[in-house]
Amino acid sequence: MTFEISYEQRMLVDTVRGFIKDELTPLEEMIEQTGALPDDTARAVFKKSSALGLYGMNIPEEFGGGGLSCLDQMMVEEQFGHTTDILIRRAFGNVYEVLLSCTGAQVDRWLTPAVKGERVCSIAFTEPGAGSDAAGIKTKAVRKGDKWVLSGMKHYISDGSFSDFFVVTAVTDPSKGHRGISMFLVDKGMPGFSLGRDQAMMGIRGTSHLDLHFDEVELTDDHLLGTEGEGLKLALSVLGRVRLAQVAARAIGKSTKILQMTLDHARDRHQFGQSLGDFQMVQQMLADSAIEINAARAALWDCAAQLDAGQDVRTKISALKVQGAETLGRVVDRAVQIYGGMGFSKDLPIERYYRDARIYRIFDGASEVHRSVIAKTMLKGSTSVFDPWSA
Amino acid sequence: MKVLVPVKRVIDYNVKVRVKADGSGVDLANVKMSMNPFDEIAVEEAIRLKEAGKADEIVVVSIGVKQAQETLRTALAMGADRAILVVAADDVHTDIEPLAVAKILKAVIDAEAPGLVIAGKQAIDNDMNATGQMLAALTGWSQATFASEVGIDGDHAVVTREVDGGLQTIKVKLPAIITADLRLNEPRYASLPNIMKAKKKPLDEKTAADYGVDVTPRLTVVKTSEPPVRQAGIKVGSVDELVAKLKEAGAL
């Protein structure tokens, strides 16, 4: 029972790493300075990456995606962590697996164009009163004859300014709580749908975070994704893999890149007549970062392999969400400490990595929420998250 | 026309090379290995010739340890059609000398009858820069080394060579041996679909004995050592000071 890296996996990682290093990393500083990735640059990046088959690799081949297994996808997502959120979106796509629930005419209208990169999609679940509590939404869709009328607002919708359509959660039956929530596909430009302000953020510059306003937007059943009332269940069933990929794997990739840079600095920087790496307190920080990254990746691969085998790994995903995010937090904090004044300065990207890292403990369910999920699951009697012999 | 491209598995160019404690060679334990960068350029050039309709089959060959099949798979994923692995050593630390490599390649050429061989000008591990030239001597074919541009003109190749002091363009009769220099092209990445397709492309495995070549080393490595650590430099304020310092150091 070992994870032996196959040559296909190695080649794929080499391609993704090389592409990021040559095509994406050089754009990062410009995006940080201007706060945006120009559309023509975005298109050029997309064209090059999609020619290499790197767009939508998580989607099965039958829908035009790369057809990667979950484990392969995690290896690739780890590399994505070496660059920034907005560049990942443009180069590799953010094609949510939830779109695989498209049926009939929905496939050609939303799924296929999203996989091909012709249309870009954002998830719109979050509201001012519903963050980690995805069931606490106020946005509602009311049946009116053969139509649905959507009203309410969403906020912090990542990439909202660029996206062409949105997967929106709305209450369709207020009496049923989280079983009364459905998902809708809403195109930008529909009457009654307007974009609000772009919320400036601490980090991940270049990605917009928009308010969306729905003022009696008329939708048909064609816009209903999945079954009425099953919206939250469907979302939760597919968002686990997204969480594993976009938070845990990317955080591990970021940690890896940052530790590599920190090692170089510790080797090259001399103080008091010796390299920083000769100081034992620096050595401890470097070793701790390595130990934590190694543990997190081993857990990630284990979880991904189990997901590929069709096992229920929801608790492990929660554990990895926390482990990845918090490993990144500690690794980047040590990096700033070892770089010292240079780590705090805007001349180096370390301070940017530090700001960008903070959201990982918050988005896709805050650490506290996931810890709570883990604890409750164990208290109910399911302990396979830490004891494989118990299942 | 069939193009043959020899490729070598070497230490990845990003790796910080460590010399073994006993000075017998370079430490290869837990070290990332990749295709020799000049060979990657050679593979890319062959693929471009195929895309331009000047070549119809690309055969890659690697001579060394069994693990070199990964290097061949990389070439297949870039776009080569099939691969030949000639196992000539068990130990990754064994380096097959250029003359032995050239003899094996000559035997492969006799079997495959390519119209053109494109090789890297040298491998970045031991920088011999000899295999291409030796192969030209053994086959009696024309050679065009250090190529920075390659064109096919009927039964000739027109090759621009990077020579001391500038560029030289020569016309050689095919079949010929071309060795690739750094500026010939920028190799492509293997795309995801091509990586998956590479799995199904044929990879034949042979041994040096199959070609009747004795790969016993003729050279003895006396010692391997780290390059001397570079001393810190100084800044000089004027030409006079520079001249004075150079005289002081005995360089003038």
Q: Which amino acid is at B91?
A: D
Nearest CA to CA, how far is B51 from chain A (Å)?
Answer: 16
Q: Which CATH class is domain A121-225?
A: mainly beta
Which residues of chain B lie closer than 8 angstroms to A23, CB-CB?
none
The hierarchical CATH code for the domain A7-103 is 1.10.540.10
Q: Which amino acid is at B237?
A: G
What are the phi and psi torsion angles at A14 (to 5°)? -60, -45
Q: What pairing do the DSSP bridges indicate for beta strands A165-171 and A181-187?
A: antiparallel
Peptide bond connecting B175 to the previous residue in cis, omega within 30 degrees of 0: yes
Q: How confident is the model at residue B231 (pLDDT cuts 50, 70, 90)?
A: confident
Do B190 and A14 make contact, defined as CB atoms within 8 angstroms?
yes
pLDDT digits 0-9 by tens, A82-108: 999 999 999 999 999 999 999 999 999
Domain residue extents for chain A:
7-103, 121-225, 233-384
Contact call for residues A188 and A150 (beta carbons, < 8 A): no
The strand ranges marked E within chain A are: 121-124, 140-144, 147-158, 165-171, 181-187, 193-198, 209-219, 224-225, 270-271, 274-275
The DSSP element (H or E) to which A357 belongs, if any, is helix A350-357
**Which residue's entry shows tokens 């009364």?**
A180
Contact call for residues A357 and A332 (beta carbons, < 8 A): yes
Q: Which amino acid is at A302?
A: D
Res A163: pLDDT: 96
- State the Cα–Cα distance between residues B76 and B94, nearest whole angstrom: 25
Contact call for residues A91 and A97 (beta carbons, < 8 A): no
- State the Cα–Cα distance between residues A332 and A326, nearest whole angstrom: 10
- State the Cα–Cα distance between residues A204 and A202, nearest whole angstrom: 7
pLDDT digits 0-9 by tens, B105-161: 999 999 999 999 999 999 999 899 999 999 999 999 999 999 999 999 999 999 999
Structural domains for chain B = 2-249 (3.40.50.620)
Residues 74 through 133 of chain B touching chain A, CB cutoff 8 Å: 74, 77
Contact call for residues A237 and A245 (beta carbons, < 8 A): no
**Within 10 Å of residue A189's Cβ, how many Cβ atoms?**
10
Res A156: pLDDT: 94
Interface test with B, best of A11, A14, A49 (most B CBs within 10 A): A11
Do A10 and B199 make contact, defined as CB atoms within 8 angstroms?
no
- Going residue by residue through chain A, which has 391 residues, state the pLDDT in tens, using 9 for 90 and above: 677 899 899 999 999 999 999 999 999 999 999 999 999 999 999 999 999 999 999 999 999 999 999 999 999 999 999 999 999 999 999 999 999 999 999 999 999 999 999 999 999 999 998 887 888 899 999 999 999 999 999 999 999 999 999 999 999 999 998 899 999 999 999 999 999 999 999 999 999 999 999 999 999 999 999 999 999 888 887 788 899 999 999 999 999 999 999 999 999 999 999 999 999 999 999 999 999 999 999 999 999 999 999 999 999 999 999 999 999 999 999 999 999 999 999 999 999 999 999 999 999 999 999 999 999 999 999 999 999 998 7
The hierarchical CATH code for the domain A233-384 is 1.20.140.10
Give the number of beta-carbon pairs within 8 Å between A and B: 38
A contact set with B (CB within 8 A):
7-8, 10-12, 14-15, 18-19, 51-54, 57, 66
Interface test with A, best of B31, B189, B201 (most A CBs within 10 A): B189
